[in-house]
């Protein structure tokens, strides 16, 4: 079967990459120029080369980053040819976006399928690559089936949520030989890349330990407790869904594999039990229409969220704005993890989802010194005169005053033994997630055109995804049973 070529959108300048509306938007997310050496070099697209055909599986908010890339900066190398989602309302939103990018008078009218039609979609639309941005618990099924149906896969983190999912994906790769790309965008944030360079240079010697503290504030952190992530069966909990980013960073920084994990955690702030113990009283079941409550999210205040969720909820009943102090939350909000690495290094890690500020601190101790990275992504949560959270203070008259005690920004300090501390400059990035999103997308869609190897090894494959989720999976098991668990005992790859 032949397929007519979709018109290529006209040239577009780089624009801010899709970011969760409740997450902090650092200055790098509006920058169009990266620091020297940050962006890899790519060769021009060969004349006459056909664009790769992409299908998007899962049309929630996260899909926007890939839709924007394939209708903008990377439309010369790829095109969206089909949608897969059980909710037609969310497909409508992105199909209209593609239609606009193509200069059409209305929606693009791309073929649409439900999850049970994945194989038919790949065959009928000659799909080269499936971009998986669906619920975490569905990743393993979609990745496995897509590979076996003859398509490659780009999958959002986390790779999957449990050991069975890991085995299913690694088995499909072994059986088909097809390609799975993991999108670990934090590797591409220059601050994280620069720390890797410091470690690889040997300035601090052989790494003996890492301490990693991540603080999610009461806007971004709370958001995981409003949506489907609050159900551990769907997300694997924050130690899988969110922390796989962080565990991947440590694996990548060290060039090492985790082998043993001990974890402790609980739901100590959100949820109905904690609310009752603090005397919060009766609360509305959802945030839309609620005023004066900094924990409520009114979907009508964000046109994208309103279209994707509020206007589409009648199709499947999914509520994106549930009360964070409501019943039914099965994930933890306060977690501590201890990880042993094969080389002998140890990681101590903590995640708090109800902090008054957002950012992270990393300390890397080595035999010759110490490196310290501190990042403040949002110094405090601003509330307006009516008691509502101000998601974007820069959009208000006068903006937000600078917090001199906890200013937003980043600082990397290295101190070798018997030397004074030295600040290491961090170059600018472009796009969200610390300036890494836009650079990641170049590797996702143009990696075959890359000129030379990346000395930082930022591109991630499926085994990087397995190693990242292995820590969270083992941590969940440790929290459930008590003792530390060995990752090798989980049989994540199906090999003994």
SS3 346: strand
Instruction: Give the whole-angstrom CA distance, residue 393 versus residue 403.
Output: 13
For position 402, what pLDDT does the model report? Answer: 76
Q: Is residue 37 included in any domain, yes or no?
A: yes
Q: Is the pLDDT of residue 409 over 80?
A: yes
Flag whether 46 is in a domain: yes
Given a contact cutoff of 8 angstroms between Cβ atoms, the answer to whether 365 and 228 are in contact is no
Residue appearing with tokens 């006209």 = 10
What b/e readout covers 338-355, taking b as 16+ CB neighbours within 10 angstroms?
A: bbbbeeebebebbbbbbb
- 434, 427 contact by CB (below 8 A): no
Q: How many helices, marked H, and strands, marked E, lie in the chain?
A: 16, 16
Domain membership of residue 34 (yes or no) is: yes
Annotate 164-216 with DSSP letters as a single string. Answer: HHHHHHHHHHHHH---EEEE-GGGGSHHHHHHHHHHHHTTT-SEEEEEEEEEE
Q: How many distinct structural domains can be found in the chain?
A: 1
pLDDT at 496 over 50: no
57/90 Cα distance (integer angstroms): 11
**Choice among 15-29, 74-88, 423-437 with the minimum mean pLDDT:** 15-29
Q: Does 424 score more than 90 pLDDT?
A: yes
Q: CATH number of the domain that 161 lies in?
A: 3.40.50.720
The Cα 12–Cα 34 span in angstroms is: 17
Q: How far apart are CA 359 and CA 226, in angstroms?
A: 21
By residue range, what is the domain housing residue 174? 27-184
Confidence grade of residue 176 (pLDDT, cut at 50, 70, 90): very high
> Which percentage of the chain shows pLDDT scores above 70?
89
Q: Is residue 12 part of a domain?
A: no
**Could you identify the residue written with the tokens 């999958």?**
155
Residue 26 has pLDDT above 80, yes or no: no
Q: Is residue 91 part of a domain?
A: yes
Write down the mean pLDDT value for the chain: 91
Exposed, middle or buried, 44 (CB in 10 Å: 0-12/13-18/19+)?
Answer: exposed
pLDDT at 427: 87
Q: Residues 61, 451: contact at Cβ < 8 Å? A: no
| Antiparallel, parallel or unpaired: β 129-132 and 409-416 | unpaired
Task: Flag whether 308 is in a domain.
Answer: no
Q: How far is CA 321 from CA 59, 65, 94, 278, 313, in A?
A: 17, 21, 21, 22, 11
Work out the pLDDT band at 393, boundaries 50, 70, 90: low
Cis peptide before 296 (omega within 30 of 0): no
Whether residue 107 contacts residue 92, with contact meaning beta carbons closer than 8 Å, is answered with: yes
Q: What is the enclosing helix (H) or strand (E) of 412?
A: strand 409-416
DSSP state of 228: G
* Least confidently predicted of 2-16, 26-40, 270-284, 426-440: 2-16
pLDDT confidence bin for 187, thresholds 50/70/90: very high
* N residues, the chain: 496
| Cβ proximity of 443 and 449 under 8 Å | no
What is the distance between the alpha carbons of residues 110 and 99, in angstroms, rounded to a whole number? 9
pLDDT of residue 12: 41
3-state secondary structure of 259: strand
pLDDT, mean of residues 440-467? 93
In this structure, what token pair is assigned to residue 158?
A: 């986390």
Residue 115 in domain: yes
User: What is the structure's pLDDT at 14?
Assistant: 41
pLDDT at 285 over 60: yes
- Measure the CA–CA gap between 200 and 426, rounded to whole angstroms: 16
Structure tokens at 52: 């790769």
Q: Is the pLDDT of residue 446 over 60?
A: yes
pLDDT confidence band for 400 (50 / 70 / 90)? low
The yes-or-no verdict on residue 267 having pLDDT over 70 is: yes
Q: Please tell me the predicted confidence (pLDDT) of residue 435.
A: 61
Helices 243-254 and 462-481: angle between axes, nearest 10 degrees: 120
Structure tokens at 66: 């890939």
Does 124 fall in a domain?
Answer: yes
Q: Are 90 and 60 in contact (CB under 8 A)?
A: yes
In this prediction, residue 431 has a pLDDT band, given cuts at 50, 70 and 90, of low
């Amino acid at each position: 079967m032949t397929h007519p070529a979709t018109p290529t959108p006209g040239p577009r300048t780089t624009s801010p990459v899709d970011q969760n509306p409740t997450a902090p938007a650092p200055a790098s997310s509006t920058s169009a120029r990266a620091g020297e050496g940050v962006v890899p070099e790519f060769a021009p697209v060969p004349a006459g080369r056909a664009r790769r055909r992409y299908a998007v599986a899962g049309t929630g908010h996260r899909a926007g980053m890939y839709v924007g890339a394939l209708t903008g900066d990377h439309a010369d190398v790829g095109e969206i040819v089909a949608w897969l989602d059980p909710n037609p309302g969310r497909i409508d939103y992105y199909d209209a976006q593609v239609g606009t990018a193509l200069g059409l008078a209305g929606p693009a009218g791309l073929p649409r399928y439900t999850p049970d039609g994945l194989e038919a979609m790949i065959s009928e639309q000659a799909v080269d690559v499936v971009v998986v941005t669906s619920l975490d618990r569905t990743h393993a099924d979609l990745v496995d089936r897509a590979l076996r149906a003859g398509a490659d896969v780009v999958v959002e983190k986390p790779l999957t949520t449990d050991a069975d999912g890991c085995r299913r994906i690694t088995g499909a790769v072994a059986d088909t030989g097809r390609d799975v790309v993991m999108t670990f965008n934090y590797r591409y944030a220059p601050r994280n890349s620069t720390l890797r360079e410091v470690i690889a240079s040997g300035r601090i010697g052989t790494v003996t330990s890492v301490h990693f503290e991540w603080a999610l504030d009461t806007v971004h952190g709370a958001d995981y407790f409003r949506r489907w992530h609050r159900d551990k069966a769907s997300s694997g909990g924050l130690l899988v869904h969110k922390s796989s980013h962080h565990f991947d960073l440590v694996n990548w920084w060290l060039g090492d594999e985790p082998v043993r994990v001990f974890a402790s955690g609980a739901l100590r702030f959100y949820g109905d039990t904690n609310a009752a113990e603090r005397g919060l009283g009766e609360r509305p079941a959802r945030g839309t229409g609620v005023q004066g409550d900094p924990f409520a999210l009114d979907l009508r205040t964000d046109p994208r969220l309103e279209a994707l969720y509020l206007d589409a909820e009648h199709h499947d009943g999914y509520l994106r704005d549930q009360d964070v102090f409501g019943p039914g939350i099965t994930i933890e909000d306060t977690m501590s993890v201890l990880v042993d690495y094969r080389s002998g290094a140890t990681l101590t890690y903590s995640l708090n989802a109800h902090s008054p500020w957002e950012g992270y601190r990393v300390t890397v101790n080595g035999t010759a010194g110490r490196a310290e990275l501190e990042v403040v992504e949002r110094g405090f949560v601003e509330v307006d005169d009516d008691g509502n959270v101000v998601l974007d203070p820069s959009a208000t008259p006068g903006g937000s005053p600078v917090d001199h005690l906890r200013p937003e920004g980043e600082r990397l300090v290295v101190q070798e033994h018997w030397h004074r501390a030295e600040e290491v400059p961090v170059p600018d990035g472009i796009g969200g997630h610390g300036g890494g999103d836009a650079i990641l997308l170049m590797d996702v869609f143009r990696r075959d055109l890359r000129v030379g190897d990346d000395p930082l090894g930022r591109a991630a494959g499926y085994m990087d995804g397995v190693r990242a989720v292995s820590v969270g999976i083992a941590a969940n098991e440790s929290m459930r049973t008590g003792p530390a668990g060995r990752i090798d005992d989980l049989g994540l790859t199906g090999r003994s």
